[in-house]
Structure 1
C-alpha cells in the first residue's frame, strides 16, 4: 500500500550546491547522538570476513551466490565506466532533488529509488544504465548461476541515499508470491494448492547492483542477511532485528564492484552518516523459466546499441513508440512499510 504524503516542494538551490552538499537537510552532522552512531559503525559495521571475488572466479562466485543469496565481485566496471556512471547519477539525483526541498525521499527521508521516481519505472532509456545490461565481467557469472544464457532483462534503475540518512530501512525482499491490488497484478508464482511459495523455487530473479563509490562503514552500505533467500520466517521489525543483522553490511567494498543478489534474500538500507552521496545502480533479470508482467522501457535506438546477447536479454522491454520519460511529480511516493510510522508493523 502507498500512503498519502505531503506535497513536495521545489528546491531552487540544487543547481548551485556542490554534489556532496545535497544532504544533511534537517539533520545535524555534529549532533551527539548521530556522532555516537557514526563512531559505532566505524568500529563495528560490515560482514566479517566478507569475500569479494574477481570476475574470473566464475564458479566461486556462483557457489557463494547459491550459498548466501548474494555475491560481491570486484572490478566489474572500469574506472572510465565508473566515472561515466557517476556523471549520470549526479544528473539524475540533481533532477530528483530539485523537486524535493526537504529531502522527504521515496524510500524514507534522504533515501530514494531511481525507478520509482521515473515515469517509465526504469532508467534504461539512458545509455549509462543500458551499458550495464551485458558486461563481459558479469554475464558469465549470471549465466553460470542459471546454467544458461537465455535469461531476460526486465529493467534497470537503482537507488541512492544522501548524507544525512540517519535511519535504517527495515529488512525486506524485492519479490513476493503473486498478489492482486485492484486491477494490478504483482509477482508471478502462485501455487493453488498452497504448498509452495516463491521461496521454494530455484532462483527466479537476480539483481545486479553496481557500486559507483566505495562502500564504507558509514556511507549507507546495503545490508544483506546471508542464507535468507529460502527463509519463510517473517521479516523482523527494526525493534526485533538483532544487532548482528544491522551490522551485516557489504563493506568495505570498492567502487566498480557489482553485488549480484537473489531478489528474495533479506536486505535493507543503512544510515549514511558521511559527507558523500551513495548511489547504487542496478539491472534486473528473470530466470529463463520465469516471467512477470513487463512494460516497455528501452527505446529502439538504445536497444540497437547493445550486443547481440544484450538484445536477446532486452527483447521484451524494447519499444518503437516514444516513451514518456522524466520524473513523476510525487517521485513515486513511499511504500507504507518504509515510512517511519509503520516501521514496527508486522508483515
Structure 2
C-alpha cells in the first residue's frame, strides 16, 4: 500500500539539485540495502525469533492492515507538523531534518496519542514480543519513534540505545551495573526491544535505518562516521513494505541515513522492557485515559501511567538529543 506523507522536499535555496546530491541518489539506488534481507510472515514466529537473536533485528510483513496504516500515517503527519512548527530551519533534534517523536514530546512519549495506543492492540505484535522475551509479563517503556525529512542528507553516527550505568549524570536511563566489572549489558539476554511500525514503504532513498548485523553482543568500540566503512553505511533495512514492523534489539549498532526522496519517512515505535529489566520511567498517559485502554494494553502500560491525582501536560518541544 502506498501512503503519501506531507512535508515534501523543499530545496533550501530554491535551486535545482546539486550534482553531488544526484550522485548520492544514484549511489544509494544502486547499492543501498542489506543483501538477502529476509522478511518473514507474521505466522512464522520461530523464524522471526531465530533471525532476531542472530542479527539483532527482524522484519515482519503484513502486521497491520490498510486502515491501520492510514490511521498511523495521518497521526505521524499531525505530530510531525506540530514539531516542525517549532523548527523553521529544520535543524532537527537528531541531526539536520531528523527528529525523535519521543524526544519532541513534553512527556518523552506519544502514548497520549490514539495512533500509538492502537499499536498496543495488534495481536501478532504481542505474540512476537512474548516469544522473544519468553514471557507475556513484559512492559512498555515508551511510545516514540522518529521521522526524517527530505534534506536529511547526512548519516547519523552509529550508536546503541542502551548502555551500562556509569553515573547518574551520564547514564541515568540504564539500570544495569556489575560492580565486579566482569559483565556488561551486552552479556545478558535482550533487556528491551524496540518495535518500529512502517506506515509507508521504506526504500533505498527515504532514509532506511542501517543495522550492523550481530552487533548486539559486541564489546568492540562503535566506529565513528570517519571510521565507518562504506559497507556499514549501506547495511540498511530496505526495501520493506508499509504494514510491516522492524523489531530491534536496542543494543545492536544502528543509525539514520540520508532521505533523498521527496517525502517524509516515519517509523513510530513501541519500546518494551523485558520482565526482569527496568529503568527510570516518565508517565506518558493520564490515569483516566489509561482506564479506557484494553485490559492487555493497561497491563503493558502499567508503569507509564500518571497517578489519578496528577494531570499530564502534553505537546511538542524540541528536546536536545
TM tier, shorter chain?
over 0.9
The partner residue of 1:266 within 253, 260, 275 is: 253
Distance in 1 (CA, whole Å) between partners of 2:291 and 2:71 is 20
What's the counterpart of residue 220 of structure 1?
207
What's the counterpart of residue 203 of structure 1?
190
Distance in 2 (CA, whole Å) between partners of 1:153 and 1:145 is 15
What's the counterpart of residue 3 of structure 1?
none
SS in 1 for 2:20: helix
Question: For residues 125-174 of structure 1, what are the alpha-carbon distances to aligned partners after superposition, in whole Å with 9 as ceiling and x for unaligned?
Answer: 11111111231121111111111100111111110000111100110010
C-alpha displacement of 1:23: 4.7
Distance change >3 Å, CA 40–CA 183, structure 1 → 2? closer
CA contact (8 A) 1:26 1:102 kept: no
C-alpha displacement of 1:183: 9.4
The partner residue of 2:151 within 151, 158, 164 is: 164
Question: For residues 78-113 of structure 1, what are the alpha-carbon distances to aligned partners after superposition, in whole Å with 9 as ceiling and x for unaligned?
Answer: 110110111111111111111111100001100001
What's the counterpart of residue 339 of structure 1?
none
Q: Equivalences for 1:183-194 in 2 at 5 Å? A: 185-194=172-181
What's the counterpart of residue 10 of structure 1?
none
RMSD of aligned residue pairs (Cα, Å): 1.6
Which consecutive residues of structure 1, in runs of 5 or more, have no partner in the other structure? 1-17, 335-347
C-alpha displacement of 1:76: 1.3
What's the counterpart of residue 20 of structure 2?
33
Distance in 1 (CA, whole Å) between partners of 2:14 and 2:214 is 35
SS in 1 for 2:46: helix
Distance change >3 Å, CA 270–CA 22, structure 1 → 2? same
Distance in 1 (CA, whole Å) between partners of 2:292 and 2:16 is 44
CA contact (8 A) 1:27 1:164 kept: no
C-alpha displacement of 1:27: 8.4
SS in 2 for 1:259: strand
In the alignment of these two chains, the number of paired residues is: 315
Runs of 4 or more above 4 Å deviation: 26-29
CA contact (8 A) 2:163 2:174 kept: yes
Distance in 1 (CA, whole Å) between partners of 2:180 and 2:123 is 42
What's the counterpart of residue 325 of structure 1?
314
TM-score (norm 2): 0.94
SS in 2 for 1:43: helix
Distance in 2 (CA, whole Å) between partners of 1:80 and 1:323 is 29
Distance change >3 Å, CA 29–CA 156, structure 1 → 2? farther
The partner residue of 1:74 within 48, 56, 61 is: 61
TM-score (norm 1): 0.87
Which consecutive residues of structure 2, in runs of 5 or more, have no partner in the other structure? none
Q: Which one is further off, 58-67 or 182-191?
A: 182-191
C-alpha displacement of 1:179: 2.8
Distance in 1 (CA, whole Å) between partners of 2:51 and 2:126 is 16
CA contact (8 A) 2:140 2:271 kept: yes
What's the counterpart of residue 342 of structure 1?
none
The partner residue of 1:308 within 275, 283, 295 is: 295
Distance in 2 (CA, whole Å) between partners of 1:23 and 1:105 is 15
